[in-house]
Amino acid sequence: MNGNTLLALFEFSKIDPIAVAHFLVALYLSISVHEAAHAWMADRCGDDTARLMGRMTLNPIVHIDPIGTVLVPAVQVLFSGVPLFGWAKPVPVNPLRFRNMRRGEVLVSLAGPASNFVLAVGALVLCWIVIAAGSSAGPSALRITRVLLLFLRRLLMLNIVLGIFNLIPIPPLDGSHILGVVLSREAASKMDRFFAPPYNFIIILFVVVPLLGPVFKFVFGVVWDLIYIWA
């Protein structure tokens, strides 16, 4: 394979700098809030491990995973022009330090997806405000309004995806920790063995992601209708 053939694999002409910038800002904001929410809830439940390690912060630098927040988005940009997803470095949690272990496991696991849904609602409200303000704005302000609205829509979409995706009960996603508390110890152990790496990632990539595609398409359609009907 020569250099020209290799370069042909990359879709440089499709790269949209504004869309990439929107996604990266939205991604780093979303994962920072998600992981900080885990850390904050763990601290409230009695485990200060994440707080003492500096993870109870919105600073995205401390949450960056070299693969999930750097390599994967970069590869997506090169091959498709626009990144679509990514993930952060997991927050360290010690359930043995929770005042109530079962309750703590559920609350800490729910805190991350819940924070994404809160961000999604906030982005939705801001979309309504921007559309209402833009309807009476001049030509120059309309361009700014359009750029801002595109960012808010991407932030909204990303957080809906992160919130729903993380509730899937497959390790290492948050939903698996919640299900693990509900199941008996024997059933939880069997689940962990069945979804042991790399099988969990294969199932997520080739089974869960294709199945969720139509779900997200339907949800986004409903959300876009809400934005323009209620604005």
Rounded CA-CA distance 222/36 in Å is: 29
CA dihedral 137, 140, 146, 147 (to 10 degrees): -140
Higher-confidence residue of 78 and 149: namely 149
Per-residue pLDDT tens digits for 171-193: 889 999 999 888 888 888 888 88
In terms of pLDDT, which residue wins out, 181 or 231?
181
Catalytic residue positions, numbered: 35
Q: Which residue has the higher pLDDT, 231 or 207?
A: 207
> What single-letter amino acid sits at 186?
E
The beta-carbon contacts of 191-195 under 8 Å, at least 24 apart in sequence, are 195/170, 195/171
Give the span between the Cα atoms of 89 and 70, in whole angstroms. Answer: 11
Quick: pLDDT tens for 37-79.
999 999 999 999 999 999 999 999 999 988 888 887 877 777 7
Q: Is the pLDDT assigned to residue 94 strictly greater than 80?
A: yes
d(C-alpha 111, C-alpha 178), whole Å: 11
Whole-prediction pTM value?
A: 0.85
175 or 217, which is more confident: 175
Q: For tokens 């991350």, what's the residue? A: 112
Tokens of 84: 């679509």
